A = this chain, B = another copy of it.
Amino acid sequence: MNANPVFNMHIPTKLLFGCGEIKRLATEKLPGRRAMIIVSAGGSMRRHGYLDKVIRLLTENDVSTIVYDKILPNPIKAHVMEAACICRERGCDFIVGLGGGSTIDSAKAIAVMARQEGDFWDYVIGGSGKGRLVKEALPVVAIPTTAGTGTEVDPWAVITNEERQEKIGFGSDKTYPALSIVDPELMLSIPPQLTAYQGFDAFFHAAEGFIANCATPVSDLFALEAIRLLYKYLPVAVNDGRNLKARAKVAWASTLAGMVESTSSCTSEHSLEHAMSACYPQLPHGAGLIAVSEAYFETFRNDCMKRYMKMAEVMTQQKSNRPSDFIDALVRMKKSCGVDDIRLSQWGLKAEDLPQLVQNARDTMGGLFTLDPRPLTDEEVLAIYQASFR
């Protein structure tokens, strides 16, 4: 916090948090009577019985439902447009996003396109997006079943334009969920590796938001608590997925990190990752972030030393005198979560592709580079990719 900061805070979402809170779907005042439920194409929401449960609870609350179930792990624009079209035809008056970030982000984008003309990319800001103003959107109810994106309390929807290999985060004050229910019991079945990938996504939302040059006193508060909780509990949740206490702490940390997204911002680490997973859609977002993180944070080590030491202190609960204490703690955390040896080549990345990623990162989410602690050169960005590539 500089001496006299100017900042704002506006998170209009109503958040319900806690084990078993999914049941509130049957009794809460909902923003409509006819819902389109968005789930992923993978079928896990059906397998775990979550979809049936949500339909049943909504029915108890006098809400009729239809289901759109084609969303991919890196969600694409074509599905947003198709679902929005169905939504209009069927007269849905709100959207329920049930699942991971891909489905909730899609729910937001569908909510926008159900009430807007033209193509989703007409409204996206960045890349080849035309940046038109979103006038209104259907209300969204977010029910995350993973702990990582924080999308339940932020306005962001990350969608890939599959024709242009652009993966861009889009949002406005119209795309905050109206209601979010974070129920850690829905997260017990996430396998260890995914738990780690998602948890590190949350960790980087907090860490990037803490070093961003637009950090505020309120984002700092959320960020440090998320960092503290994730360092302590993410390894527990990864190594013992049935540990409900650890799941709840990680879920809350992820939601806190989402509030960091709403009050500060990601930095260019996310641009670097989006460029990779736009070109290699099989690469999990969290894995890409973990892969570049050490080189990324090393690059800014001397640019915000006090903030690195502060992060190290909440992680280790010990006094820190060196910014590299943060990097050391990050490396230890990766090890204890079993993700210290990520090989980008396993998802098809090649060393010779790295230079073109630099341009993609600048083109599609270039804005985040302006929020870094200091401006990065293209050579530095390439060096981060190269140091991270195995």
Contacts and interface: CB of A to CB of B under 8 A. Distances in A.
Interface in A209-253: 217, 221-222, 225, 244-245, 248, 252
Interface of chain A: mostly helix, strand, loop or mixed: mixed
A10 B225 CA distance: 19
A49 interface: no
Interface stretch (A17-25, A74-82, A371-379): A17-25
Interface stretch (A1-9, A103-111, A128-136, A340-348): A1-9
B14 A7 contact: no
Nearest to A9: B15
Interface string A46-60: 000000000000000
A6 B14 contact: no
B21 A17 contact: no
A13 interface: yes
A8 B17 contact: yes
Given A217-B252, A221-B222, A221-B225, A20 B6 contact: yes
A127 interface: no
Nearest to A252: B217
A3 B245 contact: yes
A184 B3 CA distance: 12
A3 B17 CA distance: 13
Given A221-B222, A222-B221, A252-B217, A8 B4 contact: no
Interface in A311-327: none
A41 interface: no
A12 interface: yes
Nearest to A19: B4
A63 interface: no
A387 interface: no
* Copies of this subunit: 2
A10 B15 contact: yes
B6 A18 contact: yes
Interface residues of A, number: 28
A335 to B, nearest CB: 27
A14 B221 CA distance: 18
A4 B244 contact: yes
Nearest to A245: B3
Interface in A165-215: 184
A8 B19 contact: no
Given A221-B222, A225-B221, A17 B10 contact: no
Nearest to A29: B173
A245 B217 CA distance: 14
**Most-contacted residue by chain B among A7, A8, A21, A222 (CB, 10 A):** A8
A11 interface: yes
Most interface-central of A4, A5, A7 (chain B CB within 10 A): A4
Nearest to A7: B17
Contacts of A222: 221
Contacts of A12: 12, 14
A15 B4 contact: no
A351 interface: no
Nearest to A14: B10
A7 B184 CA distance: 12
Given A7-B17, A9-B14, 17 more contacts: A3-B248, A4-B19, A4-B184, A5-B248, A6-B18, A6-B19, A6-B20, A6-B21, A8-B15, A8-B16, A8-B17, A11-B11, A12-B12, A12-B14, A217-B252, A221-B221, A221-B225
Closest 5 CB pairs of A and B: A6-B18, A10-B14, A9-B15, A12-B12, A8-B16
